Amino acid sequence: MRRILCWVTLVVAIAPAAWSADEVTAVIAPGQVGIRVNGEPFAVYNHGTGLAKPYIYPLRAPGGHVINTVAPFDHKHHKGVWVGVEEVNGINFWGGKYQQQDAVEPAPASERIETAHVDTKPAANGGLTLAVHNLWQGEGGKTVAHEKTSITVYPNRLMVYDITLQAGDEVVNFKDTKEGFLAIRVAPTMNEKTAVRVKDEDRKRTATQAYQQLAGRIVNAEGEVGEETCWGKTSAWVDYSGLVDGNLVGVALFDHPGNFRKSRYHVRGYGLFAISPFGEKVYSKGQSDAPPISLQPGQSLNVKYGLFAHQGDEQTGKVAEAYQKFVDWTK
């Protein structure tokens, strides 16, 4: 009963008396921050002590449709929306044994990304920012790197990830790998390789909206379609759309033009969708190379990415328009 009363108190303290248009608000509970857009549930940031890493689940498109999944049977380390990368000083912060677990001991352990604290504050253009400090832990719980990420949520369901990785007391080396960095595992029915059965009336309804899509669709800013043509390439944005609850919805990832190098997309037909600066050689299949990324003690690197949840496909969802807002709002 005490826990329930505490939850209600927090909601009253944070929520306004009446929901207004174009507003993002937060509801805080132990180990979670719930985000609402115009009064409707949008996302939950999970950061409790029993997790191998923090993640966002559920994430909802307009209409309340959940567009991601957590710990699917084929890749247990894919959890909602998350940040991680393989082999940082030889430690696997992406899919190592510790990352594969559904729940972990609260004590520090190697491969764990632990949240030190989360703060919320208002942002421009009607947004709300989660200021997150995560500790990337090696053997014995020693902090290998500090992750300081601002996740700003806007009323149009655009999330901006402003991620800074800072070395701890030792040099931090990042391997050239395809396994990273900002990622989402889309809902199973959105997968490019999944055929979804719909009722005849649903076919007619979707056709009147200028689409009829039984499997997921991957497309980039250049108009290239499918995993085979979009995987490993650079692009301003990539969109992944498909059916959830019989409705066409989608999610796009945006690369910021001001990042220290163009990022590449690890996008798969089975539902993994990620963007990363750490795999120049492996993503290009050896056609391009870049100096390995190393951070001296106290040195840092920064990248900005966008994640946009929308109705429809990349055209009806106005992905290109949302990308331009992303660029304008992060100058």
**How is residue 85 written in tokens?**
């990368």
Handedness of CA 102, 107, 110, 115 (dihedral sign): positive
Residue 106 in this model has a pLDDT that exceeds 70: no
Q: What CATH number is associated with residue 233?
A: 2.70.98
Could you tell me which residue, 51 or 165, shows the higher pLDDT? 165
Could you tell me which residue, 134 or 103, shows the higher pLDDT? 134
Q: Which of 322, 326, 325 is nearest to 314 (CA)?
A: 322
**How is residue 189 written in tokens?**
């029915």
Distance CA 268, CA 274 (A): 9
Distance CA 239, CA 1 (A): 44
Q: For residue 5, is it within any domain?
A: no
Q: To which residue do tokens 């719930």 refer?
A: 34
What average pLDDT does the chain have?
A: 87
CB neighbours (10 Å) of residue 185? 28
Q: For residue 95, is it within any domain?
A: yes
Report yes or no: 6 and 22 within 8 Å, Cβ to Cβ.
Answer: no
Q: Are strands 113-122 and 81-85 parallel, antiparallel or unpaired?
A: unpaired
Quickly state the pLDDT bin for 181 (edges 50, 70, 90).
Answer: very high
**Three-state DSSP class for residue 330:** coil
Cβ contacts of 287 within 8 Å, gap of 6 or more: none
**Averaged pLDDT for residues 9-34:** 66
**Three-state DSSP class for residue 320:** helix
Q: For residue 37, is it within any domain?
A: yes
Amino acid at 122: P
What's the confidence (pLDDT) of residue 49?
A: 83
Q: For residue 6, is it within any domain?
A: no
Q: Which of 177, 183, 180 is nearest to 281 (CA)?
A: 177
What's the confidence (pLDDT) of residue 310?
A: 98
Distance CA 54, CA 82 (A): 7
Q: For residue 314, is it within any domain?
A: yes
Distance CA 85, CA 92 (A): 7
Q: For residue 8, is it within any domain?
A: no
What's the confidence (pLDDT) of residue 286?
A: 84
Residue 70 in this model has a pLDDT that exceeds 50: yes
Distance CA 154, CA 128 (A): 7
Q: pTM for the whole thing?
A: 0.88
Q: For residue 154, is it within any domain?
A: yes
Q: How many CA atoms lie within 13 A of 48 on its CB side?
A: 14
- Tell me how many domains the chain contains: 1
Instruction: Provide the domain limits for residue 39.
Output: 19-329
Residue 270 in this model has a pLDDT that exceeds 70: yes
In terms of C-beta distances under 8 Å and separation of at least 24 residues, what long-range contacts does 280-285 make, across chains too? 280/176, 281/176, 282/176, 282/177, 282/178, 282/232, 283/178, 283/231, 283/232, 283/233, 284/232, 285/232
Report yes or no: 278 and 266 within 8 Å, Cβ to Cβ.
Answer: no
